[in-house]
Amino acid sequence: MTSALRIVNGRIYDPAHGVDGAVRDLCISGGRIVADVPPDARRIDARGMVVMPGGVDIHCHIAGPKVNLARKVQPEDHRHDVHLRTRVTRSGTGGTVPSTFTTGYRYAALGYTAAMEAAVTPLGARHTLEEFHDTPVIDKGFYVLMGNNVLMYRLLQEGRHEEFRQTLAWWMSATKAYAPKLVNPGGDEFWKGQRNSNVTGLDQQIAGFDLTPRKVIAAFIEAGNELGLPHPVHIHCNNLGHTGNYQTTLDTMRIAEGRRAHITHIQFHSYGSVAGKSGDNPTSKAHEISEYVNTHPNISADVGAVMFGRSTSMTADAPLAYMLRRFGGGKWVNADTEHESGCGIVPFTYQDRNYTNALQWAIGLELFLLSDDPWRMVFSTDHPNGGSFMSYPRLIRLLMDSEFRKEQMAKVNQQALEHSGLRDCASREYSLSEIAIITRAGPARLLGLTGKGHLGVGADADVTIYEEDADKEKMFSTPRCVIKDGEPVIEDHEFRAEHEGRVFHVAPDYDPGIEQVIEPFFEDYYTIRFANYPVADRYIPHPQTVPTAPQAAEAGAVPAT
């Protein structure tokens, strides 16, 4: 049990409760926000400072087999960026793909207290959870790759919808995942079956199956909604990075037909073309994409902004990695995980003078600046794909400071700016409250994490205190104080304590009879026996099982608003 704390004199930003910079006390006891604490409780004076809930990253790549492959392929990054140990923290390495310990410390040092790993093969669940155990301070969870799963395809093709839903529930439970993830659905069968081949449209027949990406996406959206998962199906659309792909993105969002769906790193899916030809340079279709999201409250998205400099593309979209590796001409990795998913890793550098890179940068900013509802268009760089999470403070400054944005715009490829609408949104500046929404309150709400992203009584006491500064990059780079579960982990910009975060997962109910459908497939095709496949409870020392809607209703919980 942590001791009681009273934070005084700070300006509070708690958009979930309409608190927009009011100076008031914030009380903490037993790891939670409380209404009051005894007068002798320890005080933290936050005069001249901004108090926000801890940051919540809805989409990043921080743990598991593909992340580790990306570390192994870039040993030079480790040498150039050594993270020294301190009295309370352990050593590690940085670069675009930091080691486990460094990942936890550096997220915390930016004021983040939760991050969701966005793409794990079911077979990679154990590895991911083992790395989570080594990733300190922050809470974590992962999305499990289901969109190219051969058994799921077979059930869907045979019209066995109830078994499809049961199998999804089983897989989520067996791997201790948080949400189902679709990546380029249908693409893996082409990639595996024909040289350098990929799916190109939602209505194309998937190689070897009487199915289309459209049917696969619709089935997962339906099943995810029926199961009442706290976060809906998390979709990386087809045709990522291709000129003209915005039509595919619009069509994918239309498939949801009013049901909840989350479109991830939507910047990479917002490209048009000058003459309507796929061979042309891309142009920005941020306006069309924003308009659709703005007017469809069932859809949420994270931006996946691009920041200039080093990045590492790591994706379950293996054909995309093949395409990207042509640009850099350096090291790359491609891999496949049994019947579950593909994977590709490509170290990459975004350059401000490069037309396509500058356009991607501009589209990311446009999507933020055109958004009418910050609760549904939330913050991400798809770390480390569009840029490292270490670039978040700079991205915040680009959103909050139009003069700074103009200076940066002057340095990039001007032809790319001509083909974007960024100059048309020059005057908008995000407020601190809007930043609090896109970086914490919004992601927490989209994830269904009712204890995160706000400072109401009963919330987890994850609190970040920033010193106010006109330079927003500086302000968000080094919080003065970070409190995790009620414990001051960082004070006066220094780590004062180690902390082990929780792992969020779901355990949707399923009919145990479904195992008789799944087991024969394992015995026929998998390298691992069925009985050895589900992840045991001991892999998560600090679990938090987040209920599905039916489970919450049964427990009499008040639904999240």
Closer by beta carbon to Zn ion, 143 or else 533: 143
Q: Please, what is the minimum distance in Å from the beta carbon of residue 118 to Zn ion? A: 4
Q: For residue 148, what are the CA distances in angstroms to 261, 281, 302?
A: 18, 29, 22
Task: Single out the segment in contact with Zn ion by CB under 5 A; choices: 215-223, 382-390, 393-401, 522-530.
Answer: 382-390
Q: Please, what is the minimum distance in Å from the beta carbon of residue 382 to Zn ion? A: 4
Task: Single out the segment in contact with Zn ion by CB under 5 A; choices: 116-124, 125-133, 404-412, 466-474.
Answer: 116-124
Closer by beta carbon to Zn ion, 14 or else 57: 57
- 552: its two tokens: 């919450």
Q: How many residues sit in the footprint of Zn ion (CB under 5 A)?
A: 2
Which residues make Cβ contacts (< 8 Å) with residue 441, sequence separation at least 6?
14, 15, 16, 53, 375, 453, 454
- Measured in degrees and rounded to the nearest 5, phi and psi for residue 134 equal -95, 5
Q: What is d(CA 508, CA 124) in angstroms, rounded to the nearest whole number?
A: 20
Closer by beta carbon to Zn ion, 265 or else 405: 265
Residue 534: Cβ-neighbour burial (10 angstroms; 0-12, 13-18, 19+): middle
- Measured in degrees and rounded to the nearest 5, phi and psi for residue 401 equal -130, 100
CA–centroid distance for 323 within its chain: 23
Task: Single out the segment in contact with Zn ion by CB under 5 A; choices: 85-93, 111-119, 151-159, 338-346.
Answer: 111-119
Task: Single out the segment in contact with Zn ion by CB under 5 A; choices: 110-118, 248-256, 392-400, 423-431.
Answer: 110-118
- 506: its two tokens: 């779901």
Beta strands in 414-498 (DSSP E): 463-467, 481-484, 487-491, 494-495
Task: Single out the segment in contact with Zn ion by CB under 5 A; choices: 129-137, 379-387, 509-517, 546-554.
Answer: 379-387
Task: Single out the segment in contact with Zn ion by CB under 5 A; choices: 62-70, 137-145, 380-388, 458-466.
Answer: 380-388
Which residues make Cβ contacts (< 8 Å) with residue 243, sequence separation at least 6?
271, 272, 273, 277, 278, 279, 280, 281, 282
Task: Single out the segment in contact with Zn ion by CB under 5 A; choices: 117-125, 167-175, 328-336, 342-350.
Answer: 117-125
Q: Please, what is the minimum distance in Å from the beta carbon of residue 62 to Zn ion? A: 11
Q: What is d(CA 494, CA 88) in angstroms, rounded to the nearest whole number?
A: 10
Q: What is d(CA 394, CA 407) in angstroms, rounded to the nearest whole number?
A: 13
- Measured in degrees and rounded to the nearest 5, phi and psi for residue 112 equal -90, 140
- Number of Cβ atoms within 10 Å of the Cβ of 295: 10
Q: Please, what is the minimum distance in Å from the beta carbon of residue 91 to Zn ion? A: 27
- Number of Cβ atoms within 10 Å of the Cβ of 339: 21
Task: Single out the segment in contact with Zn ion by CB under 5 A; choices: 135-143, 212-220, 375-383, 437-445.
Answer: 375-383
Q: Please, what is the minimum distance in Å from the beta carbon of residue 389 to Zn ion? A: 12
Closer by beta carbon to Zn ion, 263 or else 396: 263
Closer by beta carbon to Zn ion, 120 or else 293: 120
Closer by beta carbon to Zn ion, 118 or else 398: 118
Is 401 among the residues that bind Zn ion (CB under 5 A)?
A: no
Beta strands in 285-324 (DSSP E): 299-302, 309-315
Closer by beta carbon to Zn ion, 89 or else 315: 315
Contacts (CB under 5 A) with Zn ion, residues 68-87: none
- 22: its two tokens: 């009011």
- 125: its two tokens: 């669940």
Q: Please, what is the minimum distance in Å from the beta carbon of residue 539 to Zn ion? A: 23
Q: Please, what is the minimum distance in Å from the beta carbon of residue 315 to Zn ion? A: 7
Closer by beta carbon to Zn ion, 125 or else 237: 237
Closer by beta carbon to Zn ion, 143 or else 430: 143
Q: Please, what is the minimum distance in Å from the beta carbon of residue 197 to Zn ion? A: 23
The residue from 26, 44, 110, 118 that contacts Zn ion (CB under 5 A) is 118
Closer by beta carbon to Zn ion, 183 or else 540: 183
Task: Single out the segment in contact with Zn ion by CB under 5 A; choices: 76-84, 144-152, 159-167, 381-389.
Answer: 381-389
| Rounded-to-5 percentages of helix, strand, coil across the chain | 40, 20, 40
Task: Single out the segment in contact with Zn ion by CB under 5 A; choices: 295-303, 377-385, 435-443, 518-526.
Answer: 377-385
Closer by beta carbon to Zn ion, 11 or else 181: 181
Q: Please, what is the minimum distance in Å from the beta carbon of residue 557 to Zn ion? A: 31
Beta strands in 470-515 (DSSP E): 481-484, 487-491, 494-495, 503-505
Q: Please, what is the minimum distance in Å from the beta carbon of residue 358 to Zn ion? A: 21
Q: What is d(CA 177, CA 11) in angstroms, rounded to the nearest whole number?
A: 36
Closer by beta carbon to Zn ion, 120 or else 227: 120
Q: What is d(CA 263, CA 241) in angstroms, rounded to the nearest whole number?
A: 14
Q: Please, what is the minimum distance in Å from the beta carbon of residue 341 to Zn ion? A: 13
Closer by beta carbon to Zn ion, 46 or else 118: 118
The residue from 14, 226, 382, 460 that contacts Zn ion (CB under 5 A) is 382
420-423 contacts, C-beta under 8 A, 24 or more apart: 420/283, 420/284, 420/286, 420/359, 420/362, 420/363, 420/366, 421/284, 421/286, 421/287, 421/366, 421/370, 422/284, 422/362, 422/365, 422/366, 422/369
Q: Of 546, 496, 525, 495, give the one whose Cα is nearest residue 105.
A: 495
Q: Write the binding mask 335 to 374 for Zn ion: x where contact by CB under 5 A, - elsewhere.
A: ----------------------------------------
Q: Please, what is the minimum distance in Å from the beta carbon of residue 123 to Zn ion? A: 19
Coil, strand or helix at 177: coil
End-to-end, the C-alpha distance of the chain in Å comes to 29
Closer by beta carbon to Zn ion, 118 or else 540: 118
List residues binding Zn ion (CB under 5 A). Answer: 118, 382
